[in-house]
Amino acid sequence: MTISYTVVGDGPAVLLVHAGVADARMWSALVEDLRDDHQVITLDLRGYGETPLEAGAKYSDASDVLAVLDEVGAGAVSAVGASYGGYVVQQVASREPKRFARVVLLCAPTDNVEPDEELRALWAEENALIDAGDVAAATELTVNRWIGPDATADARNLLRTMQRHAYDVQIPAGDVDNEEWPVEPERITAPVWLVTGSHDFRFFTDSADYLAERLPTSERIDLPWAGHLPLLERPTETTTLIRTALTEEV
């Protein structure tokens, strides 16, 4: 199939869906921890990592995720989604709630919440750099603004590599049509852990608060040290948090 994915380990299935400034490589520390007692499914969404993006493509990330779950024969899975990946997980879980046993959302946006002005300004700056053909500067903007103060040089370099590759794939593809399914929190029957970082943009905190008011079952966690990508910033601490969310009694 079009989507590049990997399956490792044995045990309860866990699906990992990456952030929009990253690809499946962001999960390496978590995969190594979980593979001993879980079946871990990772994928690259279209235009990221090993998955191509055709010029003018019409597709749905949410539909692609369901297709991967069907291809690997997964029943009800737990899912961890980072940022945009968490938004995709919400779309799928709203339409197919029985496919999910637990959900962990790391700094994820949602529907019906407006981006804050700081984030809008960042997007405008990024778009201006891309329009000017300065992809290197746009990449550095991502590294400077999308990862928290605790990130190591290696983590920043990994983010730089993933984001630059995404630009190199996505920019030549031009305008594409990615159909987004509506998010309906009230339909998500799985327990959901809502994780945010105090150093992140307000939009993601507002999104988590909005979801916490509407989800049937949720746990709200704010990390005082974290930016937008806590797994890259403190891998050990964030892995422990995710493992707890996947295994503790609800």
Q: What pLDDT sits at residue 10? A: 95
Q: What pLDDT sits at residue 250? A: 67
Residue 216's CB: how many other CB atoms inside 10 A? 13
Q: What pLDDT sits at residue 248? A: 83
Rounded to 5°, the CA angle 186-100-103 comes to 75
Assess contact for 110 and 87: CB atoms under 8 A: yes
| CA–CA distance, 180 with 65 (Å, rounded to integer) | 12
- Weakly modelled stretches of the chain, pLDDT under 70: 1, 250
Query: Quick check: pTM over 0.95?
Result: yes
| CA–CA distance, 144 with 246 (Å, rounded to integer) | 31
For residue 200, which of 159, 145, 150 has the smallest C-alpha distance?
145
- Residue-wise pLDDT tens digits, 127-147: 999 999 999 999 999 999 999
Q: What pLDDT sits at residue 249? A: 73
